[in-house]
Amino acid sequence: MSEIKSYAHIKNNQVLVNGEVVFQSDSSLALTEFLSEAYKALSVSYPKFHKMDAQCKLGFLCTEFALKGTNFLTENDLSKTAIVLSNAASSLETDRVHQHSIDDKSNYFPSPAVFVYTLPNITIGELAIKHKITGENAFFVSSQLDANLLVNYTQTLFQNGTEAAIIGWVEVDGDNFEGFIFLVQNTENINKNSIFKPLNETSVITIYNQNKWTH
Amino acid sequence: MDALIEKLKGQIIEQLNLAEVKPEEINPDSPLFGEGLGLDSIDALELIVLLEKHYGIKIQDPKDGKTIFQSLRTMAEYIKSQGKS
């Protein structure tokens, strides 16, 4: 059996962990400024963060907030920890930045540091590098959060040697952004009184909707 | 040379998004890769773009990069040697 141990949800310039607001900024802040403020609030030092594109920053922050205060990384074998992410826009936002850099043939300076992020699964790579996670990984593109797909795919992984997983939705498209990450791990017996939820579609939809947004 | 090194510090911080690095923290003689600034292979490509964009210098042979990008000072010396500072 597997349980959802912790989750983080970022949108509307707010960060919620397990349903409670842990950080919020002025709702008028643009995405890049909000991400920068949230990074400062996290109190971690990871200079590579500043090199990431917005989608990776969002995925990184959402995962860090979900991990904070948990023993997820020390309790689990990171070679048997999977990362399964999804979104609707793929890497469209960074694709646009790259396109803009090559539009003008007289000022043609495509940036390798931008181009390297023109794939959505780079977000998985950034998480894997940061935490030395070497298990299975997959990135799905769907029009909206598909809890059924994420749960079924992850349960298949759990039947084949995976013992823990970082799962979620990391979407950036223009000014619209949303990160939703939940941590899942194997457990011997699910205690009915546990505060943790069993991994199934209903649980994922419940925690996705169970948030106390203040704006 | 010192003015060029200071200019390069600002350009490198901006181009490589080294948001947590201050210009005064960069030793012009420290290695840019590995230790020192700890740059990676993508940063190397960005430095090549930086030379072309800001100084009009195209590195023809990628092997030259190892010498040119050894440190900030070697980079500045190379730009000077090309008459582009």
Mean pLDDT of chain B: 90
Nearest C-alpha in B relative to A52? B17
Give per-residue pLDDT as tens, B21-33: 899 999 999 999 9
Q: Can you list the residues of chain A whose pLDDT is less than 50?
A: none
Give per-residue pLDDT as tens, B26-82: 999 999 998 777 788 899 999 999 999 999 999 988 788 889 999 999 999 999 999
Give residue A105's pLDDT.
87
Of all helices (H) and strands (E), which one includes residue B68? helix B65-68
Extents of the domains making up chain A = 2-209
Instruction: Give bridge partners of residue A16 from the DSSP assignment.
Output: A9, A21
Q: Domain range for residue B36?
A: 2-81
* Matching CATH number, A2-209, of 3.40.50.2300, 3.30.230.70, 3.40.50.150, 3.40.47.10: 3.40.47.10
How many Å apart are CA A7 and CA A19, to the nearest integer? 8
B45 close to A (CB below 8 A): yes
Give residue A16's pLDDT.
96
Distance from the A46 Cα atom to the nearest Cα atom in chain B, whole angstroms: 9
Q: Is the CB of A113 less than 8 angstroms away from the CB of B45?
A: yes
Give residue B17's pLDDT.
86
> What is the predicted ipTM?
0.78
Contacts of B31 (CB under 8 A, 6+ apart): B37, B70, B71
H helix intervals, chain A:
31-42, 54-67, 72-75, 92-103, 112-115, 122-131, 147-158, 201-209
Give residue B61's pLDDT.
84
Coarse DSSP helix, strand, coil percentages of chain A, rounded to the nearest 5 percent: 40, 25, 35
